[in-house]
């Protein structure tokens, strides 16, 4: 099993640009999570999906952030327009619902 | 709302010494509790979890944790630390309605002296 796959691994962009982060969960997992990690705020849950349906997006910071899961094997997190304060490591994780989350290696986002 | 406190931001131990990382949680019912480890540049990996039953749980890499309801704690221990254990450790509490919706603590960075 390849694990949770995230792309890109690193993203550098300019303020105002659109950023799209991608995630492929582990096959057979029915839950998918997007987390953001910063030094100041630690790990924050942004949104999670169960069976491709968004269940809780209360952690999404503002309307500039959106997430989709069109099928069981793919999810995106989009930021439009991006701002310097969005700079962070974004993690995708998947789960079978047992409480064990399997994390991807993350996307290091830098917004200049 | 559930929350997790890890009071130690940074801990340094010598290789071969014992280790205890502290975790306190706040949750209205019996919680689901987890410890994850993060190596530099990597995602988090599950070390162990507690759902119910025996309050002393064993995990991977020789780690164990003890659930103490009276103290709202779930401390992580290892009898003898190896240099490869240097990493960041996160305690997390899960919602009993949705075990996978986790709230993480701020983490404890472990440094191991050779």
pLDDT in tens, A53-76: 999 899 998 899 999 999 999 999
Closest CA of chain B from A79, distance in Å: 21
Cα–Cα distance between A45 and B40 in angstroms, integer? Answer: 20
> Which of A99, A103, A106 to mutate to test binding with chain B, by most B CBs within 10 Å of its CB?
A99
**pLDDT at residue A106 in the model:** 95
The pLDDT confidence band at residue B30, using thresholds 50, 70 and 90, is confident
8 A C-beta contact, residue A29 and residue A93: no
Contact criterion met (CB < 8 Å) for B49 and A97: no
8 A C-beta contact, residue A101 and residue A4: no
CA end-to-end span of chain B: 41
Cα–Cα distance between B37 and B35 in angstroms, integer? Answer: 7
Tokens of A5: 């796959």
**pLDDT at residue B94 in the model:** 87
8 A C-beta contact, residue A47 and residue A54: yes
Instruction: Tell me which chain A residues have a C-beta less than 8 angstroms from the C-beta of B45.
Output: 103
Is residue A36 within a helix (H) or strand (E), and if so which, with residue range?
A: strand A31-38
Model confidence at A99: pLDDT above 80: no
**pLDDT at residue B96 in the model:** 66
């Amino acid at each position: 099993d390849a694990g949770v796959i995230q792309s890109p691994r690193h993203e550098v962009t300019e303020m105002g640009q659109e950023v799209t982060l991608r995630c492929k969960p582990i096959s057979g997992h029915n839950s998918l999570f997007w987390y953001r990690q910063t030094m100041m705020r630690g790990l924050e849950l942004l949104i999670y999906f169960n069976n491709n349906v968004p269940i809780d997006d209360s952690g999404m910071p503002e309307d500039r952030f959106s997430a989709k899961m069109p099928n069981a094997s793919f999810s995106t997190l989009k930021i439009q327009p991006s701002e310097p304060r969005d700079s962070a490591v974004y993690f995708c994780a998947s789960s079978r619902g047992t409480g064990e989350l399997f994390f991807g290696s993350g996307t290091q986002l830098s917004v200049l | 709302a559930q929350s997790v406190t890890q009071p130690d931001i940074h801990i340094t131990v010598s290789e071969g010494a014992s280790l205890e990382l502290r975790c306190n949680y706040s949750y209205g019912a019996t919680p689901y509790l987890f410890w994850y480890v993060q190596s530099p540049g990597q995602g988090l990996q599950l070390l162990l979890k507690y759902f119910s039953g025996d309050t002393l749980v064993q995990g991977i890499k020789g780690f164990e944790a003890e659930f103490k309801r009276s103290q709202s704690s779930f401390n992580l221990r290892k009898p003898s630390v190896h240099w490869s254990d240097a990493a960041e450790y996160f305690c997390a509490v899960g919602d009993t309605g949705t075990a996978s919706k986790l709230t993480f603590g701020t983490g404890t960075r472990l440094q191991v002296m050779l």
